[in-house]
Amino acid sequence: MVAATQQKTDTYQFTDRNFNTLREIVSEQTGISLSDHKRDLVYGRLTRRLRALGLSGFDAYCDLLQNNPGEEMEHFTNAITTNLTSFFRERHHFDYLSQELIPDLLQQNRLQNLRVWSAGCSTGEEPYSIAITLRESIPNIDNYDVRILATDLDTNVVKQASSGIYAASRVEGLPKEQLRRWFLKGKGDNAGSVRVNKELCDMITFRQLNLMNAWPMQGKFDIIFCRNVVIYFDKPTQAVLFDRFANQIQDNSHLFIGHSENLNKVTDRFSLIGKTIYRKIR
C-alpha cells in the first residue's frame, strides 16, 4: 500500500502543451533547444521541483514560470542543464595547449597578460585542468599575469566548482605525480575527498553567466574553451554565439570546442587547425 501511494504521488500528467511550453521557456532563457527525445529527461528532472514546491502538476508549474517565476527560474534552468565533465576530458586539447600553443605564445612574448575563458565550466574539472596544464608548461608562471575565467549557467555547479573539493574517485585516472602535486587528500571526516591546490584556485575566477545574456567582460581573451555546450543550441543561436566569441577573442587566438561540434556553415571567422581546435582569422 505504501509503495502504491508513493507511485501515485510521483506520477504527474505531462502533456504536449506542457512540454512545448517548457522548452519555449528553456530556449528563451538559455538558448538551449530541447528535442522531442528529451521529453523523459525534462519530466524526470522537473518532477523533483513539483514535489519541492508542493504543486499539483505541470499545468501549475508552467503557470508559475510564465507569470510569477521569482527564484524558481534559476532552479528550473539548473534542473534542465546537463553537467557531464571530467578532468582532462578530450586530452588532445590539453596536449596541444602544452606542446604547441604555450611554446608558441612564449616565443611571441604573449604571456604577460594571458587570459583564458572556460565557458560552460560545469563542476570545474575543465578550468582546473587548464590551470594544471598552464602551471606545468609555463616556466616561472608566477612572473606572468595569467588568469582563467570559468563561467556556467548553473549556479549550483559554479558553487561546487569554486569549492575545489571532489570525491577521490573523480581523480583516480590522473598520474600519481599530478595527484601529489595538485590535490590534497582529505583526512578524518573529509576522507574520500580531495581538495584542489591553492595555487590552482588562485588562478581561477568562477562566475555564473548565461551565454545568451550580456557579457560583462571588458577585455579580450587569448584562449576560449567552449566544449560540449553548443550541441544544445540550434544553428542560428550557434552562429550568434560564435560571432560573439570572435568579438571577444584576440586576433589569431584559439577556440576549443567539443568533439561532436563543428563550425561548418556556422561561422567563417575561425579556421580549423585540427581536432576541434580553431584559430580566429577575422
115-166 per-position pLDDT tens digit: 999 999 999 999 999 999 999 999 999 999 999 999 999 999 999 999 999 9
Integer CA distances (angstroms), 210 to 160, 183, 241, 254, in order: 17, 30, 11, 22
What is the pLDDT at residue 2?
36
Examine the residue annotation and report whether 269 is marked as an active-site residue of this protein: no
Closest-CA residue to 232 (of 28, 90, 81)? 81
CB count in 10 Å sphere of residue 46: 21
Task: Extract the residue ranges of the chain whose pLDDT is less than 70.
Answer: 1-10, 82-84
Domain boundaries, the chain: 2-80, 91-280
CATH number of the domain at 91-280, out of 3.20.20.80, 3.30.390.30, 3.40.50.150, 3.40.50.720? 3.40.50.150
What is the pLDDT at residue 10?
61
Domains 2-80 and 91-280 share a fold: no
Q: Which of 39, 45, 49, 181 is catalytic?
A: 45
Angstrom distance (rounded) from CA 228 to CA 4: 40
CATH code: domain 2-80 is 1.10.155.10
What is the pLDDT at residue 84?
67
Provide the grid cell at 118.
Answer: 572556460
Examine the residue annotation and report whether 268 is marked as an active-site residue of this protein: no
Q: Which of 23, 115, 152, 227 is catalytic?
A: 152
pLDDT tens digits for 60-75? Answer: 999 999 999 999 998 9
